Amino acid sequence: MVPMNTVAILGCGTMGEAILGGLRAAPDAPQVSVVTVRRAASIERLSRHEGLEVLTDTVQAVAGVDVVLVAVKPASAEAVLTAPGVTEALAGKLLVSICAGVTTAQLANWAPGAAIVRAMPNTPSLIGEGMTVVAAGPGATEVHLDAAVRIFRSVGRCRVLDEKHLDAVTGLSGSGPAFACVILEALADGGVRMGLPRDVAVELAAQTFQGAARMVLQTGKHPAALKDEVTTPAGCTIAGLLTMEDGRIRSTLARTIEEATRTASGLGQRKE
């Protein structure tokens, strides 16, 4: 495979910085050598990373790397990629976009000389527990797709799907950490209501979430099967589950993903 080891991150905000941190912490990960930002505070913060060049000039950032990762707000993507000199600088490079709702067709129109891969990671990439889905776009070969997968596997799990699934991926795993934190906080609140100290309740809820998720991933069992294994007749678990069902939690959470997906699909069409 052609080496694609140098990466520029355009727009190193929350998600960009999560990927930067994850890649820098991962052994044998592609090297992020340059990032671009707009705010002075971001320049000062990111400049603390050893060996990282922090720029405001996109053309300069793109010039010396193999892979360009676009992490700007979706509504800003066109302006960034079509700024004077940027289209030419992107020619022959791999362009990986994590801009929610921005299609590979749009990206190919703005950067016609680049190989396009669209990706949707999430913020747990910061601690190596990310979930990313990538989709090949115009000009992308297996070599390009493999390079993108290698980047995101350095910060967690990565799967390859058709682009038609990317909006649902955005709604589920892209936005999902926020939804999970709301549920986690609610469970901790219940523990506090029943007399647990706040820090203990949060730790119990967080470790329970982590343990349950790892059981699903490592055993391959359906979540319902794992649920049934701890649901004994006339026990406290079934009592709690019925209370959850009274609150229509299943339909509420499913509709949450539906609404997030619908919103994600329109993000790339908005103008700042």
d(CA 169, CA 132): 9
CATH number at residue 64: 3.40.50.720
> What's the confidence (pLDDT) of residue 3?
61
Cα–Cα–Cα angle for 159, 3, 156, rounded to 5 degrees: 30
d(CA 167, CA 184): 24
Do 54 and 148 share a domain, yes or no?
yes
- Which residues, including other chains, have CB under 8 Å from residue 152's CB and lie 6 or more apart? 119, 121, 125, 130, 132, 134, 158
d(CA 30, CA 1): 14
Whether residue 41 lies inside any domain: the answer is yes
* Structural domain range at position 209: 176-267
Q: Which residue has the tokens 């052994």?
A: 27
Going through the chain in order, the beta strands assigned E by DSSP cover: 6-10, 31-36, 53-55, 67-70, 94-97, 115-120, 130-136, 156-160
Do 11 and 146 share a domain, yes or no?
yes
Contact 33, 58 (CB under 8 A): no
pTM of the model: 0.90
Do 43 and 93 share a domain, yes or no?
yes
Residue type for position 52: L
Q: Which residue has the tokens 């609404």?
A: 259
Record the tokens describing residue 209, joined without a space: 């979430």
Whether residue 168 lies inside any domain: the answer is no
Whether residue 272 lies inside any domain: the answer is no
Task: Print pLDDT tens along the chain (272 aa).
Answer: 446 788 999 998 888 888 888 888 877 778 888 999 888 888 888 888 888 999 989 999 999 899 999 999 999 999 999 999 999 999 999 999 999 999 999 999 999 999 999 999 999 988 889 999 999 999 999 999 999 998 999 889 999 999 999 999 999 999 999 999 999 999 999 999 999 999 999 999 999 999 999 999 999 999 999 999 999 999 999 999 999 999 999 999 999 999 999 999 888 775 55
Whether residue 217 lies inside any domain: the answer is yes
Neighbours of 37 (CB within 10 A): 22
The last residue of a domain, from among 139, 163, 187: 163
Whether residue 1 lies inside any domain: the answer is no
Instruction: Report the run of H or E that residue 220 belongs to, with start and end.
Output: none
> What's the confidence (pLDDT) of residue 44?
83
Whether residue 170 lies inside any domain: the answer is no
Whether residue 28 lies inside any domain: the answer is yes
Do 36 and 59 share a domain, yes or no?
yes
Q: Give, as one character, the DSSP assignment of residue 29.
A: P
Whether residue 171 lies inside any domain: the answer is no
Give the total number of structural domains in the chain. 2
Do 224 and 138 share a domain, yes or no?
no
Quickly list H helices, the chain. 14-25, 40-46, 58-63, 77-81, 86-90, 104-110, 142-153, 166-169, 176-193, 198-219, 223-229, 236-246, 249-267
